[in-house]
Amino acid sequence: MKKGVRVVGVIIVVIAVMAILLPSVSFTQPKVEPIVIGYVGNRASPGTKPCMDIQQMAVDEINAAGGILGRPVKYIVQDGKGDTSLSVEAARKLIIEDKAAFVSVEGRTEISLAVQENSGNLFKEYPHILVFNGPMGSELTARIIDEAPKYDFCFRDFDPEPAHYAQVKYFMEKIWKKQLGVKKIAILWEDLAWTNEWRRGISYLNLPPWEKMAEDVGLKVVYSKAVKPRGTLYIPILQEIADKKADLILFVSSWFTDTDAFAKQWADSAAKNIYVQFYGGVAQTHRFWSMTGGKALGIISSFTDLETVPITPKTIPLMEKAAKMNIPMQQHVHIAYADIYHFKAAIEAAGGTDDIKKLIKGMEDVATEYSLGKMKYQTKKVKPFYHSLMRVDPNNPWKTYPGYFYQPIVQFQENGKIAYLWESCPENEKAMKKLLHPQEFKTPAELRKIQYGK
């Protein structure tokens, strides 16, 4: 009995001591390291800042849903100011100091190439995934094969230059020539690296220069000129094009091109009745109408500000979220958002971020649906398609894979109305048939009469 009393007494003493000590003992949960995702780009660019904003939005969504494999995601932007050397240093900081597992680079081939070389030198000590957000320069992915395995960690979230031949030939032959009656064209090239292969042709894939491709389908190229991305005085160029009696101007443009300045000068030039089609850039959103003060009237462009066009089940929900955040939805902005969810799927497939080989394989293997189609990276080792976003058959770049990338072509009409006319891929055009109305096309002169009564 006495022994039992002693045991009880000891227990009471222990409990009393614990009661005294417990307030000073901290039972905090072990800290979970975040997964760091970074972006290198020009914060001041109307083409790049929306990519940063939309990726932050995606990261916030993922964190609100519990993160990735129980880990929070930290998103860091480094401002490269559109300068190559500053962008290399910005990427170096993300990789070394911030320990980013994924780094995206804004879509200029020249900048991406420099960052890629720097990343290649850092990779062994600081493993990471490098993604090029939107550039088309073939060199970026050709070197993954040519210098294997040095750049196996690199991916392009868009397609390379050779992947665009199929859609351009389709437009030249089926749209411009047959539907619009175009006979003579003028081509303006943004004078940056990404247009080089289209200007000179791609001999190792037996793909001709675009001027030769136009002639092969029965169009005459009456004018061709490379122009600076920004600061070009277009009035003399437009006068020369008018003198050549071109029926259509193809401006091979990107978000770096001052297409708004071009539109303003075109609308008041001798070429104002000549059709204009932009290849890309800020003309892909509703904002282009206000940016040009309505001078975009009649201009044709690819367009991805799709608030009423449900390309996939994810299109409209994303557009609604972006509208609340005041984010303009150019095509590379859609893709930048999709990148974050593709990273998430790759991390989950790899079981985390510790094994870079598994992470690279996850990037290759997973397929995700997004607002413009399906995101899947090409794993056939054919340069420059390898590790680029799938769009065409790498063994036959004249053949487009349907469903991977939808690119509606529109015309800016009266009061900023958007007329959805065509799709860049004939297979996709069939799928979007109910959303497209090619009969709504009007000439610039007809639209001015509707808008201004003269």
Is the residue at 223 inside a domain?
A: yes
Same domain, 39 and 81: yes
- Residue 139, in any domain of the structure: no
Assess whether 329 and 236 both reside in one domain.
Answer: no
Mean pLDDT, the chain, as a whole number?
92
Residue 103 is inside which H or E element, if any? strand 102-106
Shared domain check, 319 and 295 = no
Q: Is residue 114 part of a domain?
A: yes
User: Residue 11: left (phi > 0), alpha (psi -120 to 50), or beta?
Assistant: alpha
pLDDT at 32: 86
Segment (H or E) for 38: strand 35-41
Contact 392, 428 (CB under 8 A): no
In terms of DSSP bridges, do strands 368-370 and 275-278 run parallel, antiparallel, or are they unpaired?
unpaired
Lowest-pLDDT range of 62-71, 188-197, 368-377: 188-197
Residue 448 maps to a domain: yes
> Of the candidates 371, 387, 415, which is a domain's last residue?
371
What are the E-state strand segments in 228-380?
248-252, 275-278, 300-302, 368-370, 373-375
Same domain, yes or no: 443 and 331:
no
Both 278 and 182 in one domain: the answer is yes
378 in a structural domain: no
Domain that holds residue 248: 164-304+405-452
**354 Cβ contact partners less than 8 Å away, ≥ 6 residues apart:** none
pLDDT interval class at 17 (50, 70, 90): very low
Rounded Cα distance, 212 and 208, in Å: 6
Which CATH number is 58's domain given? 3.40.50.2300
Give the residue-averaged pLDDT of 95-124.
96
Model pLDDT, residue 46:
82
Residue 256: the pLDDT is 82
**pLDDT (average), residues 93-106:** 97
**Whether residue 61 has pLDDT greater than 90:** yes
Measured distance CA(77)–CA(242) in Å, rounded = 45
346 and 416 in a single domain? The answer is no
DSSP β-bridge partners for residue 396: 393
Rounded Cα distance between 249 and 65, Å, is: 48
pLDDT by residue (tens digit) across 272-310?
Answer: 999 999 998 889 999 999 999 999 999 999 999 998 889
Residues 296 and 332 in one domain: no
The arithmetic mean of pLDDT across residues 379-401, rounded, is 96
CA distance 73 to 33: 9
> Would you call 13 exposed, middle or buried from its count of C-beta atoms within 10 A (0-12, 13-18, 19+)?
exposed
Give me the pLDDT at residue 226, please: 96
How many domains does one find in the chain? 2
Q: What is the pTM of this model?
A: 0.89
Determine the pLDDT at residue 195.
93
Whether residue 64 sits in one domain with residue 43: yes
How many CA atoms are closer than 13 Å to the CA of 55, on its beta-carbon side?
A: 31
What's the alpha-carbon Rg for the chain, to the nearest Å?
27
Residue 27 has pLDDT above 60, yes or no: no
* 222 and 202 share one domain: yes
Residue 291's pLDDT is: 94
Mean pLDDT value of segment 87-105 = 97
Chain center to CA of 395: 24
Buried-state track 87-111, b at ≥16 Cβ within 10 A, e below 16: bbbbbbebbeeebbbbbbbbbbbeb
pLDDT of residue 21: 44
**Of the residues 321, 354, 371, the one at which a domain ends:** 371
Is 9's pLDDT higher than 90?
no
- Co-location of 320 and 367 in the same domain: yes
Whether 282 and 425 map to the same domain: the answer is: yes
Torsions phi, psi for 200 (to 5 deg): -105, -10
What does the pLDDT read at residue 11? Answer: 45
pLDDT value of residue 6: 52
Of 324, 352, 371, the last residue of a domain is: 371
Is 26 a member of any domain?
no
pLDDT of 1 strictly over 50:
no
pLDDT at 3 over 60: no
One domain, residues 169 and 282: yes
Q: In the prediction, which pLDDT does 425 show?
A: 86
Q: Does 222 map to a domain?
A: yes
The answer as to whether 5 is a domain residue is: no
